[in-house]
Amino acid sequence: MNFYELAKSRYSVRKFKPEHVSQEELDIILKAGHVAPTGCNFQAFRVLVINSDEGAKKLPLCTDSHFHAPTALLVCYHKKECWYRKKYDGAPCGVLDATIVGTHLMLQAHEIGVGSTWVMSFDPEALRREYQIPEELEPTVLLVMGYPAEDAAPAPQHDTFRPLEELVSYETF
């Protein structure tokens, strides 16, 4: 599978088998996140692995988009460690860092047959409370994941894309 085929065949899996993702496969997924590029190479991210019955049971307290997933990865950025665009407007790079890490995790998971849905609709305070997330970490990317159920299928709009010409401009907008 080339990269385009990998990216195109991924879809948001919202129905999972009950088994947790194996440690061996988690290691492969986490390794792909490890090599993600980050602003100034500060690597100001932390990944929380939720892969126990007890951990997974708390997901519904934090998000409606849990889909009864047996496993989840939460990528946080470190507010003090991340690069800031101080020279210009001071914007933090942390959300971008976490997003790139999350993308690596999601695509690597897909490549080895682990499905996921990227979830932004979560309550950050609930995540902090349930998983003891320290103040300096900002929960940014929640990937609920697991082995796709036999009847898991893409949402109907999954293959609907706006025309590329509408989204890409050359030289000026």
Please report, as ranges, the residues that interact with ligand FMN according to CB under 6 A: 11-12, 65, 117-121, 154-155, 158
Provide the b/e sequence for 8-32 (b: ≥16 CB within 10 Å): eebbbbbbbeeebbeeebbeebbeb
**Residue with smaller CB distance to ligand FMN, 57 or 158:** 158
> Crossing angle, helix 23-34 and helix 94-111, to 10 degrees?
140
CB of 106 to ligand FMN, least distance (A): 9
Give the C-alpha separation, 108 to 68, whole Å. Answer: 21
**Residue with smaller CB distance to ligand FMN, 35 or 120:** 120
**Residue with smaller CB distance to ligand FMN, 161 or 173:** 161
CB of 17 to ligand FMN, least distance (A): 18
**Residue with smaller CB distance to ligand FMN, 86 or 162:** 162
Cβ–Cβ < 8 Å for 152, 115: yes
CB of 94 to ligand FMN, least distance (A): 15
CB-based contacts of 159, cutoff 8 Å, min separation 6:
none
CB of 87 to ligand FMN, least distance (A): 28
Give the C-alpha separation, 73 to 91, whole Å. Answer: 25
CB of 153 to ligand FMN, least distance (A): 10
**Residue with smaller CB distance to ligand FMN, 32 or 67:** 67
Q: What is the number of the residue whose Cβ is closest to ligand FMN?
A: 121
- Which residues share a beta bridge with 21? none
